[in-house]
Amino acid sequence: MPSLATQSPPELTALAAVPETHAWVALHDRPYADDSVPVVDLACPDAARLIGRACEEWGAFQLTGHGVPVELLRRVEGQARRLFSLPSAHKLMAARRDGGSTGYGSAAISKFFSKQFWSEGFTVIGSPRDDARKIWPDDHEDFCGAIEEYSRLMNDLARRLMHSMLFSLGLSEEEIGWAAPLKAHHEGMPALQLNYYPRCPEPDRAMGLAEHTDSSLITILHQSSGVAGLQLLRHGGGGGGGGPRWVAVEPVTEALVVNVGDLFQLMSNGRFRSVMHRAVVDRTRTRISVAYFCGPPPELKISPVEKLMGPDQGPVYRGVTWPEYLHLKKKLYNEALTSLRLSGDKE
């Protein structure tokens, strides 16, 4: 899950060329493919099976029929644009503090790289009001109202998706009671991440956000209509000889992108795969994305479900709580999940 650093970013939109601080050389480290990410209608009677297949084969899918009003998607995107269009000095009023998890800045994974990302971010955990007041002391209600309504609907949608994903694995609500959509709400640690990718004069030399997996159970993403930027790393299947290759997630009108996170891969004992993904930038258009990260209650240890183990197979991973895993991720980055493997094999 991206969090924020406090350094002051340059005014990226004012730059006529990519500076060396932001120049990446590994953008074309793997081939590209024209595969299409599966699209699933949640209202379809066969949705659970289709979701399960997409999670096994891709680790992600685009979701229609989700019930989130398009007007709300536009409101949230509009408020994100309002935020990121402010001067840097204004935005830095809500910069993430040392040891904190919310506010404005660049992605925490920046520390693993010598080059900077062509992006900005703003993280909300719980209420957005404290940070929003720092930016708009007297004019934060529209921003907070949109974010709070969106978070509520994302929480409801995440639980519906969890139900479908577990059902596709042959699991019942009783077996994973804390994830059941109709039971009492548990206070997990859901986080909302607003991402801003400005237009870039040399998109082949800049990186919006480097490849990573998410620490969550699942992530639900809204991305700007008509502006591609999200890419998934596809292993096997389709064309391209079966080797790993980047697949662009072309925006589908009113669709949300859902991807499997590390904790769901752990819980499913490797049946569902946490997908590696990244964000690239565009020469002429800015892109906004809004990511909702859904996780388990913080005190709950997530372990592989015994029912999902084969007759001669034990657990692939040791159990971990979400806070423990977030700590691992901050230290080990994309090797965090591998470090939990009981067999010692690589992912």
Q: Cite the active site residues.
A: 287
Please give the order of strands across the beta sheet that includes 32-33: 32-33, 245-248, 230-234, 277-279, 209-212
Give yes or no for a contact between 221 and 5, defined as CB atoms under 8 angstroms apart: no
- Residue 193: partners with Cβ closer than 8 Å, 6 or more residues away: 1, 2, 121, 122, 123, 124, 290, 291, 292, 293
The distance of Cα 24 from the centroid of its chain, to the nearest Å, equals 22
Alpha carbons 248 and 246: distance in angstroms, whole number = 7
| Separation between Cα atoms, residue 106 and residue 122, nearest integer Å | 8
Q: Is 12 exposed, middle or buried (0-12, 13-18, 19+ CB in 10 A)?
A: buried
Q: How far apart are CA 201 and CA 143, in angstroms?
A: 30
Q: What is the DSSP letter of 329?
A: H
* Residue 304 one-letter amino acid: P
- The CA-atom distances, in angstroms, between 260 and each of 149, 214, 242, 345 are 24, 8, 21, 21
Give the bridge partners for 287, in sequence order: 197
DSSP 136-177: -TTS-HHHHHHHHHHHHHHHHHHHHHHHHHHHHTT--TTTTG
Closest C-alpha among 215, 267, 219, 220 to residue 101: 215
